[in-house]
Each structure stands twice: as C-alpha cells, then as structure tokens.
C-alpha cells in the first residue's frame, strides 16, 4: 500500500531570514496585494495574523519588519530543504511554493518501519530553522490536505487518516475558488460529503477538474510527481536583515552558511578546494571572492579562518545585503597518514599553511621555485605554484648567483674580477646579444655576477650571497 | 655536608659551574672550525640573527645548515628575499626545490605575520627573513612561535647598533678576501668570542681570492 508524506512549510522565506541575533524582532512577509503571508513567532505574539492587511498589521505592531514576498527565493529555499532531506529519504518531489511530497512506502524497509523513519526525518528537520506541518496518507493529495490542517501525525493507519480527511473543509483542498463556491452553494462543505457522491453524477454536473482531483485524491488516477535528483555542488543564499558595512561583521552570517556546507560535506564524505563567495551590494556591483584551500577542507572553522583572512584584505565598496556561497566541485576525502615515529609538531600541514598565506597575502605572493632546463639565467628559475613536485629537469650549474636582479643594472664601480668569462648567447645565436659573464667583487666586499655585452658595456645581473 | 648538597641539587637549587647543559640542540654548520667556535653548530630551533651586508657570503655560510634542517622533509621558507632567488645555486647546494616556498610580502607587518605562521605551523624547518627593523616584543613573539613549531628563524639584517634581541645566536659577518670574518655577538649558553676568519676557499674557490693572488696582475673592469 502506498504511503505519502507531505511536509508543509508555512513560513519558509520568513524563517530563512531570522537568525539568532535578531530573535527579538517581529518579521512578516507581505505579498503584492499588501496582505501578510508569512510571519514569525514574535509577530504572531503581537497580534499580527496571516491574511491581515498591511495597515492593520502596522497599527498592531509598530516595529514590524516587512519583507516583500519573493517567489524565486522561496523556491530556492524549498529546493535546498529538499536536497537536505534527500539524505534520509529517497523520493522527494517539491510542491511549490511551500511543500514537499515524500514517498515513504519505499523507505520503510531501510528504517525498519515507520518509527525509525520518523526518527531519522525529524532529526534532519530539527537541524533546519524552518517551521513545518506534516501528515501521511495513501495519496499525495490526501496527505497535502491533511498537512495543511496541521494534522501532524506520521501513521500508516489509513482509517485514522480517512476519518480526518472526511472531516476536512473544502478550503484545504486543491479545488479552485469557483468550484468551491459552487459546491458550497449545494451545501457540500466537507470532503466527506463530496466523496460520498458518486463520481459519475459529479462528472455530469461539474467539469473534469473536480473529477480529476477526486480521482487522484482517492488514488484511482495516477498522480505523477517530479522527484528531485541530488545536485553535485552546494549553493546557498542568505539575505541579511540589515546592511553590513564592515567585513568583520560579515563573519557571523558567513559562519552560518559554512556550517551548512560542513553538514553537506560530512554527509557526502567529501571536501572542497574552492569556495565562491558572492557579496550582493546595494547600489553597486556584486563582489565575487574566491577562496581556495590547497589541501581541501570540510570543517567550517578552517574555512571561516581562510575567509576572514581574505575578507580582511578586501574592502567593501557598498553595504552588503545578501551573501551567496557556492561550491561547484566536491572532492573525495582522503585519509592523511602521519609518521608514527616523528610526530608532527603543529596541527597544520604544509598545504594548509600555503593556503593560509595565500588567503592573507594574495595568491601571487606565495610561490615555489623550480629549475628549468634553459641556459639563459633569467629563464632557468621558474616560479611555479608552491609545493609542486617537479621532476629534476637538469643538473644544477655551479657558479650561479643566489639572487638575480629583476633588471640588469649598469655597472658604476670598480670591480675585482675573480672568474670568467662564461659566454651565453640568446636563442638563435644572435651574436650581437651575446653576454660574457664574470664573477667579481666590489669595494664593499659584495660578490657580483656581471656581464659584458658585445658593445663592451658592463651590467650587474646577480648577487652571490 | 654532601647529603645537604645532594638534597639541594635534587631540588634544583644548586647550579654547577662545570656541568653546563647545551642551551639548544646544535646542527653542524658544515665547517669544523665554525662548529668549534659555536660549540656544535647553529641552533636547530629558535632565532638566529645575522648582521650582514647583502651579498658577502651570508647565504653560503648557511647552506649546509639549511640543507640538513630540511632533509627531514619539512619546508624551507624565504620571506621577502632581496631579489629573485636563483634555482641553480640552491639546487646545487642540495636543497629540494619542491620543499621551498618563497613569500613576497608587501609590508614589514605582513612579512612578520607570515614568519610567525610558518614558524608555529610545525611543518617548516627553517624560515629566512630579510627584514630591517625588529622590535623586542616582535622578536620575543617569533621566538615563542619558533619553539612551538620546532623551527628556526634566520634573521638577515644590516649591522645596527640597536638593542640586543632575545635570540639564540647573534653573529656579525664582515667581508674578507678568503671568506668571511665572523664575530659572535651573543650565544645562548656560551660566551661571545673574538672575531675569526672562516676560510671558504675549499668550498667556494670561485668566490674567494687566494692569499697569494693579491700580487698577481688583475683585470679591472669598468
């Protein structure tokens, strides 16, 4: 026997906004018709109700924070909830704007019955900040109808749900307002009365919308649901209740997002190497910051440290009203084995250290050094990414300086030559550009690497140290 | 009497003049005469100060020590070097280039921050820092970080008459035709000695003048 669970989230957009810091503020979401569609507990305590007009609500509660209803944002939050619940339940179909269908019957074997399933699901829902109502029934529409009445029972006992279904008023069904009105005029005000009538007679009097709804409610017609598939990455948006000017203040909402990322990474047993943080600025372009970790991290605390270092160096041009955290690629977690006999002194690995330095000083400020198989000294030293294992390309030359000057400097002092010359010619044997290198010592005792051009001009190219 | 002495010694209230413990673990500097002067070599961890001009042989003095330090697989970090380091010279000295990290900091503050992070991370063997000024508190902080991560920090700076810093070893380097003239300003657990000349002719023949070469005619460039 099929069993469906419907989860109804009455205040998804409102709950996604509220974080612990702003618990005391009453918040309400207003639609385009200026009526309240979602509100939080503080607003309800002050007497604000759903469907109330904006003017009444404002009169009741002077510090009510109003937020316009945004369909896309609501949908994004709903999908993120579905992704999160996917970890415990296999078949989930979103029902915009505020509901989720879960097909329970296939999951019962995994959880050894309904009790195990309930525990797993409720534990997962508890982590989310959203309020919800739920109900189970034999068909998706029946479950939805009960959940909207806050039936709040997870049961496989169909007699219980059927009785509740028969009592439910028509306003909780999926029927359009004109159909409801027609039925009301006939004196049919509950589903029980409607279901008692024969389908053939209803079909003669009403159009097929009613017949198709009742067929799907009874389970006689097939009800197609679009089940979601898990997405590979992570993307969350967080709208801030007030504009933030200071980078340091950003870390509080950011750590909330990173916690969610950590939960997802832990569940997937994965880590990620790169985050993209988008700061939505008021009256200005969106600022996009990418934060990398060479080793790969999943812990929120480590990511937060890297983000803070990166944010300290950036300046905010305009106040920020929203944050988006995106990860496109997850990498599998690898166990790192440590030396048993030489325990590490610190708890930071070399890759983590490099990421830390890069976050604060900039990506190009940290580099490695590699030996290239080139005869010209300025090409022989490469600056690759740090800690890159490179195969030994060439044997190292002796009599090379420790430091090369970025630009050769004309020689302006007396030099005592010790060794030379060593003739180097650029590629293609351009004899006019050949250089004769000498090792010399100046009056201060510094050892210089000098060259003489074909035009008999002298330059300092390096410093022995 | 001896029982009383023994009791005091056990409670560590008595200090023996002849049983000095080494203040630090020493790593050979690669030349026996210098090892003898430094009572074993350079410290394996903590701060080492070199007061030196640029380009007189200060890095050549350190190379054998640095090579031994990072042979365990830990990193060698160069922070704000005066010019671009050359791979040939470091590679010829036996330093594994994949374990070398070069940090170019824009300000002195950033360089100090990077040095502290590297030292206390525990994954760096030695950090070389080219920095002019260092305050007493900063030096103390770096010393603590170095102890925490069992790393050494070599501070290369110009000779200055400033306050002496809390370092494990402080050397002053002066150019010399046969190598370097060294004087130990300060050594933890030891006395500063008189200046001496470190002969580098056998190791770096190209970068020394032989003692009798002064009489030979020389080419002058210019």
Distance in angstroms (rounded) separating the CA atoms of residues B4 and B13: 11
Which residue among A366, A372, A462 places its CB closest to the CB of B101?
Answer: A366
A416 to chain B nearest CA, in Å? 6
Higher per-residue pLDDT: B187 or A1? B187
C-alpha A396: how far from its chain's center? 47
**Contact flag B100-A396 (C-beta cutoff 8 Å):** no
**Predicted local confidence at residue A340, as pLDDT:** 64
Q: Residues in chain A with pLDDT < 70?
A: 18-23, 335-347, 392-393
Q: Are A267 and A273 in contact (CB under 8 A)?
A: no
**Predicted local confidence at residue B152, as pLDDT:** 93
Of the candidate CATH numbers 3.30.70.2740, 1.20.1440.130, 3.10.180.10, 3.30.1490.100, the domain formed by A234-332 belongs to 3.30.1490.100
**Predicted local confidence at residue A337, as pLDDT:** 64
The burial of A344, by beta-carbon neighbours within 10 Å (0-12 exposed, 13-18 middle, 19 or more buried), is given as middle
Output the average pLDDT for chain B: 85
**Predicted local confidence at residue B20, as pLDDT:** 57
Q: Are A167 and A192 in contact (CB under 8 A)?
A: yes
Average pLDDT over residues B198-208: 83
Separation in Å, CA A255 to CA A73, A248, A362, B206: 20, 12, 22, 58
Higher per-residue pLDDT: A147 or B218? A147
Place of tokens 């002298």: A458
Dump strand ranges (E) for chain B.
Answer: 26-27, 42-43, 46-51, 75-79, 84-85, 100-103, 124-130, 152-157, 169-176, 179-187, 196-199, 220-221
| All structural domains of chain A with their residue ranges | 4-218, 234-332, 398-464
**Predicted local confidence at residue A343, as pLDDT:** 57
Q: Minimal CA–CA distance to A416: which of B167, B171, B23, B219?
A: B219
Condensed to tens digits (0 to 9), the pLDDT of residues A171-217 reads 888 888 888 888 888 888 888 888 888 888 888 888 888 888 888 88
> Helices A300-313 and A247-268 sit at what angle, rounded to 10 degrees?
150
Q: Minimal CA–CA distance to B154: which of B179, B134, B177?
A: B134
Which residue among A352, A419, A463 places its CB closest to the CB of B54?
Answer: A463
**Contact flag B121-A419 (C-beta cutoff 8 Å):** no
**Predicted local confidence at residue A403, as pLDDT:** 92
Pairing of β B124-130 and β B152-157: parallel
Chain B residues lying within 8 Å of A438, measured CB to CB: 221
B17 to chain A nearest CA, in Å? 33
**Contact flag A345-B104 (C-beta cutoff 8 Å):** no
Chain A residues lying within 8 Å of B144, measured CB to CB: none
A463 to chain B nearest CA, in Å? 6
| All structural domains of chain B with their residue ranges | 23-204
- ipTM of the complex as predicted: 0.84
CATH number 3.40.50.300 is the correct assignment for the domain at B23-204? yes
Q: How confident is the model at residue B196 (pLDDT cuts 50, 70, 90)?
A: confident
Residue B130 CB neighbour total at 10 angstroms: 16
Average pLDDT over residues B59-77: 90
Q: Are A454 and B48 in contact (CB under 8 A)?
A: no
* Alpha-helical runs (H) found in chain B: 2-10, 32-37, 58-69, 87-92, 108-121, 136-149
Q: Quote the DSSP letter at residue A344.
A: -
> Helices A140-148 and A158-167 sit at what angle, rounded to 10 degrees?
60
**Predicted local confidence at residue B118, as pLDDT:** 92
> Helices A350-361 and B108-121 sit at what angle, rounded to 10 degrees?
160
Kindly tell me if the per-residue pLDDT of B78 is higher than 90: yes
> Helices A208-218 and A140-148 sit at what angle, rounded to 10 degrees?
90
Q: Minimal CA–CA distance to A251: which of A325, A317, A177?
A: A325
**Predicted local confidence at residue B102, as pLDDT:** 94
Q: Report residue A43 as tokens.
A: 């607003």
Q: Indicate the SS3 state at residue A363.
A: helix
C-alpha B62: how far from its chain's center? 6
Separation in Å, CA A248 to CA A254, A307, A311, B92, B166: 10, 11, 8, 47, 35
**Contact flag B114-A418 (C-beta cutoff 8 Å):** no
């Amino acid at each position: 026997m099929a069993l469906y669970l419907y989860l109804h989230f009455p205040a998804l957009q409102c709950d996604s906004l509220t974080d612990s810091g702003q618990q005391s503020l009453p918040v309400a979401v207003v639609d385009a018709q200026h009526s309240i569609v979602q509100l939080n507990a503080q607003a309800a305590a002050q007497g604000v109700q759903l469907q109330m007009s904006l003017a009444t609500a404002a009169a009741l509660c002077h510090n009510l924070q109003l937020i316009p209803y945004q369909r896309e944002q609501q949908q994004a939050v709903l999908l993120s909830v579905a992704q999160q619940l996917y970890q415990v339940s296999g078949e989930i179909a979103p029902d915009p704007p505020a509901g989720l269908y879960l097909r329970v019957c296939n999951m019962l074997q995994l959880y050894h019955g309904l009790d195990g399933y309930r525990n797993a699901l409720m534990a997962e829902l508890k982590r989310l900040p959203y309020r919800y109502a739920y109900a189970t029934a034999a068909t998706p529409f029946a479950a939805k109808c009960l959940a909207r009445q806050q039936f709040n029972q997870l049961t496989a006992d169909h007699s219980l749900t059927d009785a509740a279904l028969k009592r439910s008023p028509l306003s909780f069904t999926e029927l359009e307002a004109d159909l409801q009105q027609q039925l009301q005029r006939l004196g049919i005000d509950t589903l029980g009365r409607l279901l008692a009538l024969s389908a053939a007679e209803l079909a003669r009097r009403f159009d097929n919308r009613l017949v198709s709804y009742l067929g799907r409610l009874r389970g006689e017609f097939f009800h197609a649901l679009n089940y979601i598939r898990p997405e590979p990455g992570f993307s969350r948006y967080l709208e801030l209740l007030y504009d933030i000017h200071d980078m340091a203040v950003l870390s509080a909402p950011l750590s909330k997002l990173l916690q969610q990322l950590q939960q997802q990474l832990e569940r997937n047993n994965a880590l990620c190497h790169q985050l993209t943080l988008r700061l939505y600025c008021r009256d200005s372009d969106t600022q996009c910051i990418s934060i990398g970790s060479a080793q790969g991290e999943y812990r929120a605390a480590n990511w937060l440290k890297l983000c803070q270092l990166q944010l300290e160096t950036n300046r905010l041009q305009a106040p920020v009203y929203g944050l988006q955290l995106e990860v496109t690629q997850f990498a599998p977690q690898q166990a790192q084995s440590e030396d048993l006999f030489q325990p590490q002194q610190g708890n930071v690995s070399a890759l983590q250290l490099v990421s830390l330095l890069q976050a604060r000083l900039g990506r190009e400020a940290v580099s490695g050094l590699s030996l290239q198989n080139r005869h010209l000294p300025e090409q022989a030293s490469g600056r690759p990414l740090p800690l890159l294992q490179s195969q030994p390309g060439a044997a190292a030359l002796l009599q090379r300086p420790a430091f090369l000057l970025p630009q050769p400097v004309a020689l302006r002092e007396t030099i005592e030559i010790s060794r030379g010359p060593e003739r180097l010619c650029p590629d293609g044997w351009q004899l006019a550009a050949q250089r004769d290198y000498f090792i010399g010592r100046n009056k201060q005792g510094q050892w210089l690497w000098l060259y003489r051009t074909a035009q008999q001009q002298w330059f300092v190219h390096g410093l022995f140290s | 009497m001896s029982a009383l002495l023994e009791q005091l010694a056990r409670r560590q209230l008595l200090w023996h003049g002849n049983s000095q413990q080494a203040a630090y673990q020493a790593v050979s500097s690669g030349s026996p005469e210098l090892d003898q002067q430094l009572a074993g070599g350079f410290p394996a961890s903590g701060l080492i100060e070199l007061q030196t001009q640029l380009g007189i042989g200060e890095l050549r003095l350190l190379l054998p020590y640095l090579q031994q330090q990072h042979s365990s697989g830990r990193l060698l970090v160069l922070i704000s070097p005066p010019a671009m380091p050359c791979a040939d010279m470091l590679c010829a000295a036996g330093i594994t280039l994949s374990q070398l990290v070069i940090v170019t900091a824009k300000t002195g503050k950033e360089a100090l921050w990077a040095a502290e992070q590297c030292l206390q991370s525990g994954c760096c063997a030695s950090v070389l820092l080219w920095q002019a000024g260092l305050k007493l508190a900063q030096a103390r902080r770096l010393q603590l970080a170095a102890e925490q991560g069992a790393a050494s920090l070599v501070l290369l700076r110009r000779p200055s008459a400033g306050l002496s810093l809390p370092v494990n070893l402080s050397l002053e380097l002066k150019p010399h035709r046969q190598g370097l003239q060294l004087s130990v300003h300060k050594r933890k657990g030891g006395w500063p000695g008189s200046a001496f000349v470190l002969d580098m002719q056998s190791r770096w023949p190209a970068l020394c003048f032989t003692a009798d070469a002064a009489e030979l005619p020389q080419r002058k460039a210019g």
